[in-house]
Amino acid sequence: MIENSDESGAKDGAGEIYRVAGPVVTAIGLKPRMYDVVFVGEESLMGEVIGLVREKTIIQVYEDTTGVKPGEEVVDTGKPLVLELGPGLLSSIYDGIQRPLPVLREKMGDYVERGVTAPGLDREKSWNFVPSIQEGDQINGGAIIGTVQESEHMEHRILAPTDAEGTVQSIKEGGYGVEDVVCTLDNGKNLKMMQTWPVRVPRPYKEKLMPEIPLITGQRVLDTFFPLAKGGTAAIPGGFGTGKTVTQHQLSKWSDAKIVVYVGCGERGNEMTEVLTEFPELEDPWTGAPLMQRTILIANTSNMPVAAREASVYTGVTIAEYFRDMGYHVSLMADSTSRWAEAMREISSRLEEMPGEEGYPAYLSARLSEFYERAGRVTALSGSEGSVSIIGAVSPPGGDFSEPITQGTLRIVKVFWALDTKLRERRHFPAINWLTSYSLYLSTLEDWFTKEVAPDFLRLRGWAMAVLQKEAELQEIVQLVGSDALPEEQRLTLEVARMLREIILQQNAYHKVDTYSDIKRQYILLQSIKKFSDLATRLIPLGISVEVIAGLNSKLLLSKVKYEEKFDEELDRALNKMEDEFKNLEAST
Amino acid sequence: MKEYRTIAEISGPLVFVEKTEAVGYGELVHISLADGTTKRGQVLDTSKDMVVVQVFEGTAGIDKSSGVKFLGETVKINVSKDMLGRILSGSGEPIDGGPPIIPEKRIEITGAAINPWARDSPSEWIQTGISTIDGMNTLVRGQKLPVFSGSGLPHNEIALQIARQAKVVGKEEEEFAVVFAAMGITHEEAQQFIKDFERTGALKRAVIFLNLADDPAIERLITPRMALTSAEYLAFEQDMHILVILTDMTNYCEALRQIGAAREEVPGRRGYPGYLYTDLATIYERAGRIKGKKGSITQIPIISMPDDDITHPIPDLSAYITEGQQVLDRNLHRKGIYPPLNPLDSLSRLMRLGIGEGLTRGDHDQVANQLYAAYAEGNDLRGLVAIVGKESLSERDRKFLEFAEMFENEFIRQGRDEERGIEETLKIAWRLLSTLPKGVLVKIDRETMEKYYPKEQAAPKKEPSEKKEETPVEKKKVTPVKERVVKE
Ligand SMILES: Nc1ncnc2c1ncn2[C@@H]1O[C@H](COP(=O)(O)OP(=O)(O)OP(=O)(O)O)[C@@H](O)[C@H]1O
Ligand SMILES: [Mg+2]
C-alpha cells in the first residue's frame, strides 16, 4: 500500500526520534513528504509530518507521547492521512482521525489509551450491493456504480473513485465486504465499495451552483430572519453558555438535510454522550427513521490529543463531501472552530514558528477560508446535485468578537448568527442578537420563499425587522426618561416588539412542541402578530390605551400557541378571540 | 539507576540537563541536593541534546552539582480504599501522622481521556437544599460545575453547605465520599474545611490533599491530578459516588503560567499559556459516569475571579469546559444575602437531564425559565429607576421591580444550615411568580399553568410568609446531617 517514491539513500522510510515536546516530535533520518503519516516510537503512535526543516522532520502525534524517548524508531508510511469512505459510515462515532470509538472501547476499555489502530469501516460486515450500471457501460470518475441500503431510509450510493474511467467489464450483485471487488473496468481497474481519500484535499465536483434553496431548520429566528442556504456557510460565535452547542444540536435534529456530520472538536465528552443517547430515540422529521441513522459523529473532546483535534474538522468535511457526491444535502457542524484554531496554535508554538495575532499561526486565515470553501451546492462528478452546508461555532475568549478567529471567520461566511451574553442572562433563547446578525442569502432565497411559503413572506419579515429596529431606538429613550414619557403609538411599538421577541424570536429547544417550528407556521405566527398590531394601531387614535391592549386575553393566547400540540385549533381560538376583543374595544369608544 | 551531574542551566522552576541517555517525555525525576534532600520533577521536553525538567518543589537550593536521576516512569500515586479519612500532601504523601497508605494499585496521575462512547449520560439530580441551585441551576451526578467567586465572598461556606447537604433523593444509602484538593489556599481556609468535615463526620469519608499557600507552587500542577486519580479509583473501581472539590483553580493556573514564562513560550491572553484551555480540560473532563459502572465523579472546582472579572481567562476558559457555573455576586453579598449566588450569570447545562416529571416535577423547567426572565427584567429596571425614579415606571414595570426584591429576599436568601426540599423551593417560586400579572408568564405553557398555578390568592406581604417558610426548615436543619453520620 505504501508507494515508495524515495530514491535517495535513506533506508525504507525509517528514522529515529530526536526530540519529544508534548504532541510534537522531531525525527532525523527520514525523507518524508509533507503530511505523510508516520508511526512514532516503540508503541507505533500515529502522527503526521507537518514540517521539514533541513535534516529534521517535524511530526504532530495524534496520541499522548508520555514516555516516548529520543532514539526510538520512526517509520514513514509514505502516504497522507486518508479516510475510508463506504458503507458503514452512517450512525458511526469516530475520533478525529476516524478511529471508531466503539471499537477502541472494545480494544482498550473505557479510556482512550494509545497505540491502537482500528479501521474506519467494518471489514467483517457484508453489504448487499445492487449495481446501477451494466457491463459495457462507459463510466467516469465519481460515477454512481451501485447502491447499498444502509438502513431503511438511507441509500448509500457507491461511487467510483474520482480517477476511475473506463468501460465496465464486469459488475457483481449481492453480499460483499467493503474491500471486495464489485466492479472491474476494461483497463484492469478494480472498484470496491470502499475508497480512500486524503482528508486535507477537497473532493472534486463538476460545478458550483447558486445557493438558491434554504436549509430549513425549524428554528424561527434562523429560518425567518437569518436563513442559511443549502451549500452555504454560517458562523455562530458566542461566549460560553450562550447556546452554540444547543443551536447546532437543533440543526442536527431538525434541519432538512439528508445527512448530518457533527464534529465535536475540542468540546465536552458529555455533549457527545447526549447526542449518542438522544439521537437514536428521536425521529428524523423528514423520514421518521431514528435520527442517528442520518448522523455521523466525530468526537475529539477537549482532553483528547490536540493533533487529532486539528485533523477532526478535515475528517468531518471530507465525509460530508463524500455524501454530497452521492447527490445528498449534507450539513456539517463544527463545534468549535476556535478549539481547532487553538490546536493549530498549540502545535505551531511547539514548532517555534513566528506567531501572528494572539499567538495564532500566520496561516490561520488561509486555513479558515480553505475549510469554509469546501461548502457549496454542486453538481457532483456523478451528475447529481448535492450540497455541503457548513455551520461553525466560534468561542471567542471573554465573549469578545474582535478576536482573530471571529473576525477571520466573519470575512468568509455568509451568515452570522451572533449569540449574545446579555440575552442569555435573561434566558432569551436562542440568544441570537437580531440587530447584529445577518444573512447574505436573503436575495438569492427570495424566489424560494415567495413560491414555497408565501408571496408576502419577506415583506412580513421586513416589517418585523423594522419594528425590532424601532424598539432598539425607543429603548434608548426609555433608558433616559422612562416608558411613561412615550406617546401611545410608540408604546404600542414596544408592545408589538415584545410580542415578536417572546413569540417568534424565542424558542425553547427543550419544549416538546416548541423545539421545531414548521416554516409555514413561522409565517402564520408572524402574520398573526402583524394582524394584532394593525388592529391595535387603529384603536390608539380612538383613545384606547396600550395598557388595555397589552392586557388582552387574546394576546396571552397568541403567546402560547407555539407550545400547543393542536396548533391550528389554538391559533384559531386566539385569532377569533382577537377579533372579538378588538371589536368590543372599538364598540366601547 | 544512573545519576547525572550535568545540569547546564537553572531557570525559574526549570532545570536543564545535558548529556543524558534517552529520557522519556513526562518521566519522573529526582534531584538530590548537597544537604541530602531530594526534590521531585517531571520531564517537559526531551531531546538528544537537552532534557528540560520542571521541579515541583521549586529550584531553590539546586546547583549545577546536584544529582539528577530519571526514574523511567511517570508520576504515579498509590491508591486504596484506606485513603478515606486521610490527609495527604499536595503530592500524595500522608501528612496526618498516620501510617503510609498500603497501595492496592499504583496509577499514573495524567489520566487518559474517557472514551466518549463509554460515557453514560448523567441523569440523577442532586438536591443541595439551596433554592437557587436546585430550582434554577440544578446539579447532576457526574457534572462538573464550578463555583466562581471573588476574594472575601463565601465560596467556602457554599461548597461546604453543598458537601453537607448534597443527596440524591431516594438514594441516601449509596456509598459516597468527598475528595478535597487544596491548591495554594491558606492554612485557615484549609482548617475551615477540615473542621467542618470533622464536625459532620464527613472526614471519615474524605480524602484530603493539601498544597497550601506556603507549599511549593509547582506542586499545584500535580495536586488536582493526584486527587482525580484517587477519585477515579474510588468511583469506577470501588463503586462510590465521589464529590471532588478543587480549590483554588486560580492558583493552579498561576503555577502553569510560571512554567510557561520560564520556558519563554509565546504567552496567550494576559500572559497565560496558549494551551491553558487544553490543560484545564485534562482536569475538568475527569468527571462523569461510565457505562456499566456504579460510581460517579461530580466536580466542584472553586475559581476565584481576579478583580471579579468573569471574562478573565481563568474563569472564561473554565466555563468553556465545565458544564455551567455557579457565580457569586458581590452586590448580593453586600446586601447581606446568603448565599449570594447570582442565578443570571449562573448556569447548569445538565440541569434538564435531571429534572422534570418523575425526577423533580413537571413544571420545574418552565418555572425556572420564568424566574430567570422575571428576575432579569426586574433587575434591569433597577438601573432605570435610579435615573428616572419609580414614578415614571408603568404598572407592569413596578411589579417586576418588586418581584426582583422579593426574589432576592425570599428565594435566594436562606440560612447556612437551611436545607430546602425541591417542593418547597418550587412552592416559593410559584408564590413569587403569582405576584406578577398572569399575562406576563409567557414562559409557562397553558397546561402547566392550569396544573400548578397556586389556587389561593398570592400573599404579597413578605413578613408572614417568610416566617411560615422558615419554621419547618429550622426543625429539619440538623437531622439530615445526623442521619448521615449515624448510617455510615
Ligand atoms: N434554544 C434554547 N432553548 C433552551 N435553552 C437553551 C437554548 N439555547 C441554549 N440554551 C441553554 O443554554 C445553555 C448553554 O447552551 P450551550 O451549551 O449550547 O452553550 P455554548 O455556547 O455551546 O457554550 P460553550 O461555548 O461553553 O460550549 C444550555 O445548557 C441551555 O440551558
Ligand atoms: Mg458548546
Q: What is the ipTM of this complex?
A: 0.92
* Cα four-point dihedral sign A304, A307, A310, A315: negative
Chain B residue nearest residue A276, CA to CA: B117
Looking at residues A139-165, what average pLDDT do you find? 94
Residue A348 confidence (pLDDT): 86
pLDDT of A7 > 60? The answer is no
Distance B341 CA to ligand 1 centre (A): 20
Residue B456 confidence (pLDDT): 66
> pLDDT tens digit string along B274-309?
899 999 999 999 999 999 999 999 999 999 999 999
- Burial label, B13 (beta-carbon count in 10 A; 0-12, 13-18, 19+): buried
Give the up-direction half-sphere exposure of residue A71: CA atoms within 13 A in the CB hemisphere: 11
Residues at CB less than 6 angstroms from ligand 1: A 238, 240-246, 395, 429-430, 507-510; B 320, 347, 349
Give the up-direction half-sphere exposure of residue B36: CA atoms within 13 A in the CB hemisphere: 0
Nearest by CB to A20, which of B46, B143, B275?
B46
- Which residues on A lie below 8 Å from B282 (Cβ)? 303
Q: Which residue has the higher pLDDT, B29 or A356?
A: B29
Give the up-direction half-sphere exposure of residue A421: CA atoms within 13 A in the CB hemisphere: 15
Among candidate residues A246, A235, A245, A215, the one with its CA nearest the CA of residue A515: A246
- Prior bond to B94 cis, omega within 30? no
- Separation of alpha carbons B145 and B160, rounded Å: 14
Domains and CATH numbers, chain B: 3-74 (2.40.10.170), 77-352 (3.40.50.12240), 364-452 (no CATH)
* Region of poorest pLDDT, from A131-135, A275-279, A370-374: A275-279
- Separation of alpha carbons B161 and B242, rounded Å: 16
Is-contact B27 B9, C-beta < 8 A?
no
Task: List, in sequence order, every residue forming a beta bridge with A53; answer none if it has no partner.
Answer: A56
Nearest by CB to A274, which of B114, B121, B345?
B121
* Most confidently modeled range among A6-10, A372-376, B268-272, B471-475: A372-376
* Cα four-point dihedral sign A556, A557, A559, A565: positive
Is-contact A293 A91, C-beta < 8 A?
yes
User: What is the radius of gyration, based on Cα positions, of chain B?
Assistant: 25
DSSP H helix total and E strand total for chain A: 16, 26
Residue B467 confidence (pLDDT): 40
Instruction: Indicate the average pLDDT of chain A.
Output: 92
Ramachandran angles phi, psi of A170, nearest 5°: -150, 150
Q: Which set of grid coordinates corresponds to residue B272?
A: 497565560
Q: Which of A336, A429, A563 to mutate to test the pocket of ligand 1 (most atoms within 8 A of CB)?
A: A429
Q: Tell me: domain A122-193, CATH 2.40.50.100, correct?
A: yes
Nearest by CB to B345, which of A114, A425, A427?
A425
Looking at residues A212-231, what average pLDDT do you find? 97
A14-80 — its CATH code? 2.40.30.20
Cβ atoms within 10 Å of A198's Cβ, excluding its own: 16
Partner-chain contact B44 A21, CB within 8 Å: yes
Q: Which residue has the cell 462528478?
A: A381
- Which residues on B lie below 8 Å from A560 (Cβ)? 442, 445-446
Task: List, in sequence order, every residue forming a beta bridge with A262; answer none if it has no partner.
Answer: A297, A333
Q: Length of chain A, please?
A: 589
Partner-chain contact B392 A484, CB within 8 Å: yes
Distance A506 CA to ligand 2 centre (A): 19
What one-letter code names the amino acid at A484?
A: D
Distance B139 CA to ligand 2 centre (A): 18
Q: Which residue has the higher pLDDT, A105 or A350?
A: A105
- Separation of alpha carbons A23 and A64, rounded Å: 7
Segments of chain B with pLDDT less than 70 = 456-488
Query: DSSP assignment of A533-584, as one string?
Result: HHHHHHHGGGT--HHHHHT-HHHHHHHHGGG-SSHHHHHHHHHHHHHHHHHH
| pTM of the predicted model as reported, rounded to 2 decimal places | 0.92
Secondary structure string (H, E, C) spanning B459-483: CCCHHHHHHHHHHHHHHHCCHHHHH
> pLDDT tens digit string along A452-500?
999 999 999 999 999 999 999 999 988 888 777 889 999 999 999 999 9
Q: Which atom of ligand 1 is nearest to the CA of B350?
A: 29
Domain boundaries, chain A: 14-80, 122-193, 209-442, 457-588
Ligand number with the minimum distance to the CA of A254: 1
Q: Tell me: domain A457-588, CATH 1.10.1140.10, correct?
A: yes
Q: Sorting pLDDT into bands at 50, 70 and 90, what band is A444?
A: very high
A209-442 — its CATH code? 3.40.50.300
Q: Which atom of ligand 1 is nearest to the CA of A242?
A: 21
Is-contact A276 A249, C-beta < 8 A?
no
Q: Length of chain B, please?
A: 488
Chain A residue nearest residue B110, CA to CA: A66
Q: Which set of grid coordinates corresponds to residue B476?
A: 429539619
Among candidate residues B262, B119, B90, B92, the one with its CA nearest the CA of residue B184: B90
Distance A72 CA to ligand 1 centre (A): 46
